[in-house]
Structure 1
């Protein structure tokens, strides 16, 4: 598989603080990668290093085949790592013309990219009249002007209302569907679960997980249970080889599986032991539950 970015044993220290520690992962062409972690986990620092904005302390990274200088490689990268910064008194089209001149690309892409982000009908409106979501969408259009092989976004939906968040996520999916590789940093589990194919989970600069999102959430799931004989039910689950642990909240028992077990078989076993359920739902573990388990155990 063709690699776009390879990071090896990357470390960044700010004085006594280690922001990124011995980080390694590879981004392959055509996927949507999420760097997921709480604030202060090293996401923005990692992006800053590969974009030559922040100097690394140790380790290495290379773009594409490794034979291209970072300066030349960045010509094939589109990135938004800070709040959109355009001239407020100029229209969207005028602002993008300026970006084209700076990037040395033709003006013929402007309308096409404005259409991608749903702003073509607002191209003659001044930037100062745009909502926060529209400003972010214009920034994405600007990052796409050079038809980049990879689009890098740092917290792309930060501060947006639910409608704005939905619009940005749909745009990201559309861009990815056309073959552009995407790397986005986010502290929102929901964002990564809905948008990304792969995820790197960071905590305090350390990688906790790296791989496919669907593999991260391919656990055996859990049962949500209610029963009038709660004590007997809990004792039965505790002695059952298929369960790892349970939690109880306001009469609802959540029993986590460590191996496959169908709800039909489980219900039958309970019935044969004189335990009748009033509520039984089988669920898959969400990325959030997986993430919490990862960060709790480290």
Structure 2
């Protein structure tokens, strides 16, 4: 278990993190979602003690905190952060990297071969990483994190540069690790993928972590339906708002207009559909509010 207690980070008078208090548990995948520069990486750096917060502390297993070098060594046997591609040595093979990580964390060496097989790396793992594509390098970084086998794993944009098949393979691996009592914290922009396997998802804004369920309680399959209108305009939004003042209508930064429908609102759907057709907007879709929709509403 890991607990953040009143973590505050301030740069040049700006609050990057503001009194963040939260507990992360075993068997849990946590998603952190936000535009760049809003504090996701800062939070991870605080957890790793790469950055000292201006206030607050991080507590591991109800007893350990970063008060001494001895404690830091003990904590870093419990927590690891996925390496960046720039951390790879081009003259070493992928397998050599995995052996180094396994040795550093004194994990079971058998994890090396099982991870290579699970991630489909057999054809290139013995080649020097300088010959790897971006996707191959990203898979290796993820594999290095897995073979460390720490209780808590931090991953920043783990799916970068991966095709849909690789994304699915890594997602399945994450779910297996969760079943092994791991706590996994992932900062990601792949919202649809994150929505499938994360236990809790937080939006980071104004130095705070806001739980998605607290922002919008009816997200996903049980939520309200929305109409998505591409190439919406302020004029169309104003017309629709006048005609149906009871509806929540929002024009997003990407010019998509979202119209939230009340539950059981099939009648209003027919009326709005007719209104859009009359205003030469035949191209629209209807579905449940998604995490991507909520992200756009929340940040834009």
Tell me the SS of whatever aligns to 2:89: coil
Match of residue 67, structure 1, among 46, 60, 63: 63
Give the Å deviation of 1:124: 1.9
Structure 1 residues 21 and 166, CA gap change in structure 2 (3 angstroms): farther
1:282 counterpart = 2:281:
no
CA separation in 2, counterparts of 1:105 and 1:253?
50
Q: Answer yes or no: is the 8 Å Cα contact 1:20–1:206 preserved in 2.
A: yes
How many Å separate the matches in 2 of 1:236 and 1:175? Answer: 44
1:153 matched to which residue of 2? 155
Aligned mates of 1:99, 1:237 — CA distance in 2: 58
Counterpart in the other structure of 1:46: 43
Partner of 2:171: 172
Matched, 1:140 2:142: yes
Q: 1:13 to 1:62 in 2, by over 3 A?
A: same
Q: For each residue in 1:146-205, what CA deviation from the matched residue of structure 2 results, as whole angstroms up to 9, or x when unmatched?
A: 3223321012233x1x52x65145313323234143211124434433453321111243
In structure 1, stretches of 5+ residues that fail to align are 226-230
User: Taking structure 1 as reference, are residues 18 and 97 closer, same or farther at Cα in structure 2, changes over 3 Å only?
Assistant: same
| Change over 3 Å in CA distance of 1:14–1:213 after alignment to 2 | closer
SS in 1 for 2:123: helix
Q: Which runs of 4 or more aligned residues in structure 1 lie more than 4 Å from their structure 2 counterparts after TM superposition?
A: 210-216, 234-242, 267-271, 274-281
Note the 1:140-289 alignment, pairs <5 A. 140-158=142-160, 160=161, 163=163, 166-178=165-177, 179=179, 180-211=182-213, 215=217, 217-218=219-220, 219-223=223-227, 238=242, 243-245=247-249, 255-257=259-261, 259-263=262-266, 265-266=267-268, 282-289=286-293
Structure 2 stretches lacking a partner, 5+ long? 66-70, 230-234
1:52-106 C-alpha deviation (Å, 9 max, x unpaired)? 1111111222223x12456323313332153352322222222222233333335
Q: Which residue of 2 aligns with 1:228?
A: none
Q: How many angstroms apart in 2 are the aligned matches of 1:5 and 1:98?
A: 26
| Aligned counterparts of 2:35 and 2:2: Cα–Cα separation in 1 | 23
Contact kept? 1:31, 1:182, Cα under 8 Å: yes
Count of residue correspondences: 278
SS at match of 1:120: coil
> What is residue 232 of structure 2 aligned with on the other side?
none
Other structure's SS at 2:32 match: strand
Counterpart of 1:89 in structure 2 is 91
Change (3 A) 1:253 1:149: closer
Q: Is the 8 A contact 2:101 2:148 kept in 1?
A: no
Q: Indicate whether 1:107 and 2:103 are aligned.
A: no
Q: Do 2:82 and 2:144's aligned partners in 1 also have CA atoms closer than 8 Å?
A: no
TM-score by length of 2: 0.76
In structure 2, distance between residues paired with 1:295 and 1:247: 12
Does the C-alpha gap of structure 1 residues 118 and 266 become closer, same or farther in structure 2, counting only changes over 3 Å? Answer: same
Give the 3 Å change call, closer, same or farther, for CA 224–153 of structure 1 in structure 2. Answer: closer
Larger radius of gyration: 1
